[in-house]
Structure 1
Amino acid sequence: MKKWLALQFIVLTTFSNICFADDDDSAPAPDIQVTATVKTVPVMQKVIQQTIIAYGTILPDADQITTLSMPHAGLVENVWVRPGQKVKKGDLLFSLNASPGEKMTYLQAEASVEFAKKDLKRQEELLSQHLATKAQVTSAKKTLQDAQIHLASLKKQGLGESLQRFIAPQNGIVTQVNIQAGQRVQTDSSAIQIASDQQFVVRLGVEPEDLANLTVGQTVKIQSVFDLEKPFESKVSQIHAMLNPTTHLVDVIVPIPSDQATHYVIGSRLKGEIQMASHDALTVPRSAILTDNEGSYVFSVHDGEAQRINIHTGQSTHEWVEVTEGLSMGENVVSHGNYELEPGMKVQEETK
């Protein structure tokens, strides 16, 4: 009997605890309202500049490149420069020893001049003795003149020297070296290229579909991809009509002003903003624009609550986005703190 009473007591106690626990769980949670602090700005009218962004590389100006070619066949004795080296006018570049065949040609030309001189002298003596005609003397003079011209041409090619040294014809940068010491070369083969260190261009690559919007003379804002704080302006000088086989883009050539050339080196990467048409537009800061599956939208504040406004956007700059539909001049939109907002959420505008 006592055991039965004890068991009933345990069951009643457990049931009471469960009931009280259920009553506690069903108690309503306190109502907590979240208030977000935001910053708002007015919709403003600004000039939107339509641009094409392109990237490219600094190259020497093709019109300012000097190519030194071999005046005759021979053996390269020494090469004193390397690609990328800066040179001054008169600096030694390389030396060339004439080939045996070229030396023989020069010796033959010297002998021809000496023979022509002696023949002319003999013809003049015969004329004085009435044993030769004036035509024969005139022919001997012409032969001597031709021989002297041929010898002068060979001397100009450097064949009169046992070892010919070549010097830089201008200040510049060695962009190409096609020879090395001990190499045998042929007449007119390219040896060295020197580019001006004051005339550079940037070769920008643009998509083929953008060609319709490009014209020679358009302004381009150029800046280093590593230093966006020092832009400068130039103008489009050439627009190519074929794809670059390496980049698969269309090359647009923009000269770099001479006062900017000293700040860059050949091969540097640059960013170009090709400026096209501009127009007045209603704009909001880029930070105010949000997007989701329904499109672009902004938040405004009405009666202390966040209100979503769907918008359509147009052109944009680094800081501003054109709004073509959904907003009016002077309306305020949330520019900071909008990522945490939901429609109807309580908000507090940041005091300025």
Structure 2
Amino acid sequence: MPAETEPHERAWMAWPSAPYTLGETAAEAEEARTAWAAVANAISELEPISVVVDPSGRDEARRRLSSAVEQVDARLDDAWYRDIGPTFVVGTGADGQRSLGAVNWVFNGWGQQEWAIWDNDAHASGVATDLSGAVRIDSPMVNEGGGIHTDGLGTFLVTETVQLDPFRNPGWTKADVEAELVRTVGARKVIWLPRGLTRDSERFGTRGHVDIVATFTAPGRLLVHDQRDESHPDAAVTAEVVDLLSRETDADGRPLEVVRLPAPKTLVDDVGWVDYSYVNHFVLNGGVVACSFDDPVDAEAREVIADAYPGRSVVTVDARALFARGGGIHCITQQQPAVTPAVPTSPTNERGTP
């Protein structure tokens, strides 16, 4: 599995149409569609993007999405394509030719959540797999794209509460999970975080996805969510994660450099503790689409992200509507890596860079 920072052939998303994503009122539906469209349209400025659209959402998608966004009809239950879509990988044959693969995990509604519906989403990964022309790689493991992060060189981050969830993979051990990650995505070292953020571990969460906790920005370097306010329960969570990762090495024995990415000042919403996280951004050709929260920390976080990805433009999208529904920008996007080896370029001539 290449790093997200490597060149993309295109990005993939899905359009919101399920009641528990759109909400109960017209205003809530407007809020959701506006947020998804803002992310898709921002991506379309930098690289090709395909959005999978349930027939029930076709008219709204056509009205809101840029003409540069390719729309693909398919039945869906929800719109978190990072989790219901495939995880793309790249292989190199004996002749040196690179080929695209697509790992299709088992999806069961984030561990058989009682509110989730996944009859269609269980098959949604096949849409991008087939249209991309990738070699299909089926896995028996229940997993989601938001549950793994990689440096592209075989080092992976996971959480014990996701892959070892008894409602996902009953009876599986760490050794079982690691063996499957070796087989499917080329893992050489798996770093286990004990848990995810607090809100994400509650009723409408994923039980601890790593993609709002930590992400690789380059080999040996990580951005890690840093909750500075001790009154928030995530302060203890992130302190534990920072300590663990600061003592870890990658698959090549390189010590990990941990860069703290501050959490927003906002601590609660009308439900409880928030899990707003700037870590949940999407890196693409020449740029980064990052979260904002109309928060005093937005500007500082944007600077940290810009420093982490030199040469890439940073575009921010208000992600509060996404997090209110259980995720962020990274959660609704999925990258399809380019299989043609990229010609080395300077940051100023990457596609989409000013």
TM-score when normalising by structure 1: 0.18
Larger fraction in helix: 2
Structure of greater relative contact order (alpha carbons < 8 Å, 6+ residues apart): 1
